Amino acid sequence: MRKFVAIHNLGCKVNAYETEGMAEKLIRAGFSVVSFDERADFYVVNTCSVTNIADRKSRQMLHRARKLNPDAVIIAVGCYVDTHGREGVCQDGVDIALPNTEKENIVEVIKAWEESHGAEEEETEEPEISASYGEIIRSSGEERHISGEGIYTRKFLKVQDGCNMFCSYCIIPYARGRIRSKGISEVLSEIASLTEKGYREFVLTGIHLSSYGLERPEDKEDLLKLIMEADRLPGVRRLRLGSLEPRIITEEFARGLKGAKSICPHFHLSLQSGSDTVLKRMNRHYTAAEYLQSVEILRSYFDDPALTTDVITGFPGETEEEFKETYDFIKRTGFYETHIFPYSRRKGTAADRMDGQLVNSVKHERLATLQALDSENRKKYEDRHIGKCAEVLFEDGNEGYTREYIRVKCPNGKIKCGEIHTGTITGRNPAEGVMELEINEIRKIHDKNA
């Protein structure tokens, strides 16, 4: 009898990649992977523990799974298990708890559970991964990269795991462990097989992407070399990068990026604070001036690139003056997008033991102030692109993204998912909050090596 498994993803793009991997293995082992809202025999929650809110969401999804089917086997995997321990998680009504290092064993773990509980096994023919699988991943991940028609566009690739930085506010090094990277040949092989399926845009991700290859200096493999090698592969039309440390942006690095024809001018540089004193307490290893120098290097090699960042408000001891330094820095830098989070106290981190913990009302007041600035900056950046020619990879009906990751819509007619259009951005659609595109040229990308 075929068994049904429902999977839900929480957290970062690395988690999304690993969720896809688990679903793929389960399907190939003969399980039917269904939407998390459906009744299933097994519910798998790929958890996140980056903040207290992430912990709460992880618990909520595990409780929701139990309500959906009280007789199902509930499986928690990932960072929440690493930070709270197997026993602690299983006390919360979970049947199986797997840390990050055991995600790849999901099939064996489920089959072992079935055997130990007297479930009958039935051999099934290895099925093909279908469009419905893509819809399941879309419903639980952060990004859309496969359409309901089974047409592929964007793919996240986890090339690195772990972190050695130990920022004072962060629990992730304890959940993910020390840095480790896939070899370049392994990544290139994966990309080559995915281009055969129709993928043309790839997002290189990791827990600390900038440290790619640093644990194996003898191999002489680093992030720039990986990018240059991937850029040479037939069929790769676009490469994007996950979050980068500002210190990796040197003249040599930026020059190399500029030479990669597929690299998108869309870079996420983690900031966290624009105040040097706060950065020091956070154990971030750069100053605001050094960060700004990285921004200027990128802008000297790329024409108005989309620069995005992360900022934490209300870090322990953050004064009004320090917050104003961050506000002024964001305004002066003119990011396309700023992802803003109120500081979340995490037991086991250095920041948890710091004096000057701020009340939530102050954190959220500062959050709202920066969100208003972010909206202003985003509109300014998008407005600068009105009248410019843009290349758009369409993903959903007649909506898609430029190389700068500006979302645009073509108001005239329905465009097939997976086509690339070049056109002129004509203005903003105020009702839908997207930019509009007037098509100049259509070029499909489904053909091999297009």
The per-residue pLDDT for range 184-195, each reduced to its tens digit, is: 999 999 999 999
Q: Which amino acid is at 186?
A: E
* Rounded mean pLDDT, 237-256: 97
Q: Can you tell me the distance from the alpha carbon of 356 to that of 390, in angstroms, rounded to the nearest whole number?
A: 48
Task: Tell whether the model's pLDDT for residue 237 goes beyond 50.
Answer: yes
49-63, 269-283, 356-370: range with lowest mean pLDDT:
49-63
How many percent of the chain have pLDDT more than 70?
89
Q: Which amino acid is at 344?
A: S
Highest mean pLDDT, choosing among 11-20, 137-146, 327-336: 327-336
Per-residue pLDDT reduced to its tens digit, 412-421: 767 888 888 8
Task: Tell whether the model's pLDDT for residue 143 goes beyond 50.
Answer: no
Stronger pLDDT, 123 or 39, i.e. the higher one? 39
Contact 208, 241 (CB under 8 A): no
Radius of gyration for the chain, computed over Cα atoms and rounded to the nearest angstrom: 23
Write out the chain in H/E/C secondary structure: CCCEEEEEECCCHHHHHHHHHHHHHHHHCCCEEECCCCCCCEEEEEECCCCHHHHHHHHHHHHHHHHHCCCCEEEEEEHHHHHHCHHHHHCCCCCEEECHHHHHHHHHHHHHHHHHCCCCCCCCCCCCCCHHHHHHHHHHCCCCCECCCCCECEEEEEEEECCCCCCCCCCHHHHHCCCEECCHHHHHHHHHHHHHHCCCEEEEEECCHHHCCCCCHHHCCCHHHHHHHHHCCCCCCEEEECCECHHHCCHHHHHHHHCCCCECCEEEECCECCCHHHHHHHCCCCCHHHHHHHHHHHHHHCCCCEEEEEEEECCCCCCHHHHHHHHHHHHHHCCCEEEEEECCCCCCCHHHHCCCCCCHHHHHHHHHHHHHHHHHHHHHHHHHCCCCEEEEEEEECCEEEECCCCEEECCCCCCCCCEEEEEEEEEEECCCCEEEEEEEEEEECCCCCC
Residue 163: CA atoms inside 13 Å, Cβ hemisphere, count?
21
Stronger pLDDT, 449 or 155, i.e. the higher one? 155
Q: Can you tell me the distance from the alpha carbon of 377 to that of 380, in angstroms, rounded to the nearest whole number?
A: 5
Q: Can you tell me the distance from the alpha carbon of 266 to that of 271, in angstroms, rounded to the nearest whole number?
A: 16
Per-residue pLDDT reduced to its tens digit, 313-358: 999 999 999 999 999 999 999 999 999 999 999 989 999 999 999 9
> What's the pLDDT at 441?
54
Residue with tokens 């990649």: 17
Q: Mean pLDDT over all residues of the chain?
A: 88
Per-residue pLDDT reduced to its tens digit, 420-442: 889 999 999 877 778 888 876 55
Q: Give the pLDDT band of residue 138 (cuts 50, 70, 90).
A: very low
Task: Tell whether the model's pLDDT for residue 36 goes beyond 60.
Answer: yes
Q: Give the pLDDT band of residue 87 (cuts 50, 70, 90).
A: confident
Strands 389-396 and 4-9: unpaired
105-114, 293-302, 362-371: range with lowest mean pLDDT:
105-114
Contact 393, 400 (CB under 8 A): yes
* Residue 284, φ and ψ in degrees, nearest 5: -90, 135
> What's the pLDDT at 198?
85
Report the predicted TM-score, pTM, of the whole model to 2 decimal places.
0.84
Domains in the chain, start-ordered, CATH in brackets?
A: 4-131 (3.40.50.12160), 139-382 (3.80.30.20), 389-444 (2.40.50)
Q: Can you tell me the distance from the alpha carbon of 43 to that of 58, in angstroms, rounded to the nearest whole number?
A: 13
Per-residue pLDDT reduced to its tens digit, 385-409: 999 999 999 887 788 999 999 999 9
> What's the pLDDT at 440?
67
The tokens describing 390, both together, are 């843009």
Neighbours of 116 (CB within 10 A): 8
Task: Tell whether the model's pLDDT for residue 109 goes beyond 50.
Answer: yes
Residue of 202, 182, 329, 335 lying closest to 260 (CA atoms): 202
> What's the pLDDT at 142?
36
> What's the pLDDT at 152?
64
